[in-house]
Homo-oligomer: A and B are copies of this chain.
Amino acid sequence: MSSASPSTVSLVTTPTPRPKRATVHDVAVEAGVSRGTVSRYVNGERYVSASAREAIEAAILKVGYVPNTAARNLVMQRSQAVGFIVHEPHSLFVEDPNIGEILLGANTALSEADYQMAVLIVDSERDTERVARYLSGGLVDGVIIVSARAYDPISRVVERLNLPAAYVGHPPGASTASFVTIDNRGSARAITERLAATGRRRIGMIAAALDRDSGADRLAGFTEALGDRFDERLVEPVALYSYSAGRDAMQALLERAPDVDGVFAASDAVAAGAMEALRAAGRRVPDDVGVVGFDDSAWAKRTLPGLSTVRQPAAGLGRQAALLVLGQLRGEAGAQEVQLESEVVWRDSA
């Protein structure tokens, strides 16, 4: 059972008779009324006689009419849709434990307002151009952007088009766009303080993704919390919020500073990796070393002992971003900055 070419089986072979779809016109002639009347009926306006209504209903059923949204969008000058753009999807979709909740939160809010959400993935140069075209084409009335990078072409397009937009996380560059975040810095400070309150004297941090503001802010909060006791030799930076990075970093940290008795990992995945390294080194958690993480993802509940961490209101982030866009769609002017409250979850790892 090794990886091989897929086995294919043909089932049927009807020559795909692409059917031409019925239009308002077809319904009109079938019902013996004018196109205008049909259009009014479809859009639920008043001033449609009972007789006309019946005839139209029957006609619609008979010819199998479904309105063409593209045509409607064209004349209405709006699409009743909002794009959800996700960058760097490899780290996001596969690693980020929050992306799913963010998506669902945004979708719920948009759905309630009768907007369709279309998730657009940017995973290559081609994607960038194509998505830019898509946005330019009037297929969405606004966008939610998650994890944008600095000098992001997509952000530029959005700005140039003057498209109502909201970012999840800090928008790149100096753009004055709406965005929603959590207080990474304050949360990091809070959990570090609680870790210190357990009596730890030599507290280190495995910092990750310092090129993103989330990563940088968490380190800043950590530094703030420790004040005088901060020792930069106890900070081990890694590139990604990943399990293996956490494991390797903890190993390095243990070598450089064998006396660490507390660790703040920049994410739960990192923390889980760190705990593995600690176990391998014969250190007990929390007895010898206290560990805290960030995210309250599935990792936090499956470590042994359970991981103390910071809970992000992921669905709330998506929901707020959606509300921000909807507000702009309603004409509410001005960029808004929304900060959602996070929460320290105390378990047994510290």
B-contacting residues of A (Cβ < 8 Å)?
1-19, 21, 64, 66-74, 79, 81, 84, 89-90, 92-94, 99-101, 103-104, 107-108, 111-112, 114, 116-121, 123-124, 126-127, 130-131, 133-134, 136-139, 160-162, 164, 176, 180, 186-187, 190, 243, 272, 276, 279, 298-299, 301-302, 304, 313, 316, 320, 328, 331, 333-344
For the complex, what is the distance from the CA of A142 to the CA of B121, rounded to whole Å?
A: 17
Q: How far is the CB of A286 from chain B (nearest CB, A)?
A: 18
Other A-B contacts than A70-B73, A119-B119, 20 sampled, CB-CB below 8 A, are: A1-B341, A2-B343, A7-B341, A8-B336, A10-B336, A10-B337, A16-B328, A18-B162, A19-B162, A68-B138, A69-B136, A89-B103, A93-B103, A93-B104, A107-B121, A111-B124, A111-B130, A116-B131, A272-B302, A276-B304
Partner of A190 from the list B1, B104, B121 (CB cut-off 8 Å) is B1
Whether the pair A126, B111 counts as a contact (CB closer than 8 A) is: yes
In the complex the two chains form, is B2's CB within 8 Å of A341's CB?
A: yes
B11 touches A343 (CB 8 A): no
C-alpha gap A94/B96 in the complex (Å): 10
24 A-B residue pairs with Cβ-Cβ distance under 8 Å, sorted by A, are A2-B341, A3-B341, A11-B335, A11-B336, A16-B331, A16-B333, A17-B162, A66-B133, A69-B136, A69-B139, A70-B138, A71-B74, A71-B138, A89-B100, A89-B104, A93-B99, A93-B103, A94-B104, A107-B121, A111-B127, A116-B130, A118-B118, A119-B120, A299-B302
